[in-house]
Amino acid sequence: MPSLEKLDPKALDPERTVVVATGNAHKLEEIQAILGPVLPSMRFVALGQLGDFPEPDENGDTFLANAIIKAEAAVAETGFAAIADDSGLAVDALDGAPGVHSARYCGHHGDDAANNEKLLANLANVSDAERTARFVSVVVLIGRSGLVLSGTGTCEGAVGREGRGEHGFGYDPLFLPEDTPGRTMAELLPDEKNAISHRFHALENLIPQLEGWTTA
């Protein structure tokens, strides 16, 4: 994963800065690629570039609730407007699991390999036809005054039987989007993924609300 350049918060214009509540360079790039053309005067920076902040307790029972928790924490910690998303994989044969627990499905946070291994184990006896699933994303943008905007998106597909591809992160190597038959999400180039991803659709859902938006 590419490293994130550290930035001095005092050197940033609060009226032209949006903090992406992540330390994940891939997620920053994805959000910047999609929202940058819509908000060309704004600079998107990752929360992890501004310092080491404690992770908020994502104790919500929905993607929306967790996204709000993360965005509110980023606003409180930095004083800048913030955008956060909560996303995950919902597998029909597992009654929607891992869902909001996607990042910690294996029992601890952020271990992609262990999460994928557990998912494959739980689907070992499930036929290809019943491995339908979708990525779900809810994106929340909160201004410094507390104004909350949100967008929701999905990417339909199925869970494969082995990981393939070098791009992306999380469950991308296992997920076979309907829009790219035979190719996993991790086999797509960034521009290809951005055109179909759940986060793209959530940001697309958010974009109409951004006309005239400011960081205030």
Burial 44-74 (b: 16+ CB within 10 A, else e): bbbbbbbeeeeebebeeeebbebbbbbbbbb
Q: Name the active-site residue from 8, 86, 92, 128.
A: 86
Question: Tokens for 90?
Answer: 């919902």
Q: Which of 152, 141, 144, 134 is nearest to 80 (CA)?
A: 144
Give kind and range of the element (H or E) at residue 119. helix 112-122
**Which residues of 108-174 form beta strands (DSSP E)?**
132-142, 148-159
Task: Name the pairing type of β-strands 17-20 and 81-91.
Answer: parallel
Tokens of 125: 């006896």
- Which amino acid makes up residue 195? A
Burial level of 37, CB count in 10 A (0-12/13-18/19+)?
exposed
Told to judge if 86 belongs to the known catalytic residues of this protein, a careful annotator would answer: yes
**d(C-alpha 74, C-alpha 72), whole Å:** 5
- Catalytic amino acids? 86
